[in-house]
Amino acid sequence: MKTKSFFLTIAAVLAFVSTGETRNNTGTIIVYSPCSLIGSGIQNWRFNLNHGSDLIVRNGTYYRLTVLAGNNIISHDNVTLREEDPHTVHVYPGQTVYFQYNDNIFLTFQVANDQEEAARTVSRLSPMEEQFDDDSGD
């Protein structure tokens, strides 16, 4: 009985340690679109993280993504009339990187030049809580 208890304890400790390592190996990317008159007529801006499923950010909103530390790719896969335009974003463990849709007529996007200002801007925006996979509003 002591042997079984010993192995269960070891398994529990290993599970706990591996969970902690996973949490410590993540960061955050926040994709945001500041309030803009140029973007006010557009309902959804679609983008992808690491060529995954479509995600949406709207004018005046942000989308928080928890990612593994390292290189991640933000792109426009499967977006009508847009090139993929992939951007590699390096995230360190525990770091938050702000990725901004620029408020110009071409609606380009990139890592925000001033990360502190981006954090202040995002604090005034609304979070995107739900994502819908529909074909409307590209």
pLDDT digits (tens, 9 = 90+) for 64-104: 999 999 999 998 887 665 666 788 999 999 999 999 876 55
Give pLDDT, residue 2: 60
Residue (of 74, 72, 73, 47) closest to 58 by Cα position = 47
CB-CB contact of 103 with 32 (8 Å): no
One-letter amino acid for residue 108 of the chain: T
Identify the sign of the CA torsion 73, 95, 65, 99: negative
Mean pLDDT for the stretch of residues 39-43: 55
Enumerate the domain spans of the chain. 26-127
pLDDT, tens digit, for every residue of 8-22? 556 555 555 555 544
Q: How far apart are CA 101 and CA 34, in angstroms?
A: 8
* CATH code of domain 26-127: 2.60.40
Give pLDDT, residue 58: 86
Give pLDDT, residue 29: 95
Give pLDDT, residue 3: 58
- CA distances to 13, 24, 63, 75, 97 from 59, in Å: 46, 32, 11, 18, 19
Q: How far apart are CA 39 and CA 98, in angstroms?
A: 19
